[in-house]
């Protein structure tokens, strides 16, 4: 008897060029879900509006994000993959849920407070972000939502909203569970901080050779002389190990302990490893970028599959709250 697959939902904002931190921190893990679960994955362009990007940039970033996922192995035959705005039913559900959500719950959102503290301009979209996220989750009958520890509160809020709705109207929504992604390591940026676009310290995956090489050659190192052992708790060592097997990691460790190592040589080796690792993905992405009609077809089919589930849930919600006009 085959095991029933759990539905996993994940949404990614189109925020620009994909980098190593995105890939090793989230994307590679998420793509693996498609092999053992019913993966629903979408590009969250509605959510991206909270930062008020220019229309041209948002459109380009959305297209690039789709190409990134497909090039890195997301299989539309195994996954329901769409752009959030192609299933606008989520905004209707978000409005219905907002009528059932207390202001107090929204005020407890730590993500909103953190973003405001970091200088992001306040707006109602950003404030009510957890409600739209809850609609994303509940509209597609999600069982699991993979998140980092810092995003666990979003799932708890979605459960609170669903519980409040179910308590008033009956069992309409499936209560989602967080699938906490335990990050065993933080991917360091070229400056040693966590790799993030916010810190301008990223190494792009799909940049040109010159751009990637320049980033790698700019990785910070210490001032140890060539005859001194080198510090392994540095971004260069950790980034190299991402692309090295255990034997290669051991060799690198021994080089760091012995005199004679030149950081520039290790950086050049890292550049070659990164280029070799992502070469087939870069080739596939170039092909995808040249086929916008093919991309549109994939997204249209994905949206159609997602909409089928969305309408089933939304029709039930409409009837439940009394706006279906059934006399």
What is the C-alpha separation between 221 and 234, in angstroms, rounded?
7
Q: Which of 44, 42, 38, 43 is nearest to 8 (CA)?
A: 38
Take residue 183 and report the two structure tokens written for it.
């990050």
Take residue 195 and report the two structure tokens written for it.
């790799």
What is the C-alpha separation between 252 and 270, in angstroms, rounded?
11
Q: Which of 134, 150, 232 is nearest to 183 (CA)?
A: 150
The yes-or-no answer on residue 115 being catalytic is yes
Active-site entry in 6, 78, 197, 255: 197
CB 198 within 8 A of CB 15: no
What is the C-alpha separation between 204 and 58, in angstroms, rounded?
19
Active-site entry in 6, 78, 141, 194: 194
The yes-or-no answer on residue 197 being catalytic is yes
What is the C-alpha separation between 86 and 264, in angstroms, rounded?
47
Active-site entry in 6, 78, 115, 316: 115
What is the C-alpha separation between 19 and 189, in angstroms, rounded?
10
Q: Which of 181, 99, 89, 105 is nearest to 138 (CA)?
A: 89
Catalytic residue ranges: 115, 194, 197
């Amino acid at each position: 008897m085959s095991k029933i697959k759990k539905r996993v939902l994940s949404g990614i904002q189109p925020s620009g060029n994909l980098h190593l931190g995105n890939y090793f921190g989230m994307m590679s893990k998420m793509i693996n879900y498609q092999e053992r679960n019913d993966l629903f994955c979408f590009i969250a362009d509605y959510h991206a509006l909270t930062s008020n990007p220019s229309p041209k940039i948002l459109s380009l970033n959305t297209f690039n994000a789709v190409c990134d996922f497909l090039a890195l192995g997301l299989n539309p035959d195994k996954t329901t993959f769409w752009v959030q705005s192609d299933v606008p039913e989520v905004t209707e559900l978000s409005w219905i849920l907002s009528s059932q959500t207390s202001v107090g719950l929204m005020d407890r959102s730590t993500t909103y407070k953190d973003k405001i503290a970091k200088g992001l301009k306040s707006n109602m979209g950003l404030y009510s972000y957890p409600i739209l996220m809850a609609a994303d989750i509940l509209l597609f009958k999600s069982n699991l939502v993979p998140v980092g520890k810092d995003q666990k509160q979003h799932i708890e809020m979605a459960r609170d909203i669903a519980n409040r709705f179910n308590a008033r109207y009956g069992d309409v929504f499936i209560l989602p569970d967080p699938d906490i992604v335990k990050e065993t390591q933080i991917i360091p940026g070229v400056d040693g901080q966590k790799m993030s676009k916010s810190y301008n310290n990223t190494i792009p995956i799909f940049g040109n050779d010159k751009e990637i090489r320049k980033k790698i050659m700019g990785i910070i190192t210490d001032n140890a002389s060539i005859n001194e052992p080198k510090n392994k708790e540095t971004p260069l060592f950790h980034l190299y190990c991402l692309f090295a097997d255990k034997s290669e990691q051991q060799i690198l460790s021994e080089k760091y302990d012995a005199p004679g190592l030149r950081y520039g040589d290790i950086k050049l080796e890292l550049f070659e490893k990164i280029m070799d690792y992502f070469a087939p993905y870069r080739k596939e992405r170039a092909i995808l970028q040249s086929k916008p009609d093919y991309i549109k077809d994939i997204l249209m089919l994905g949206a159609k599959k997602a909409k089928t589930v969305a309408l089933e849930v939304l029709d039930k919600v409409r009837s439940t709250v009394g706006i279906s006009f059934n006399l």
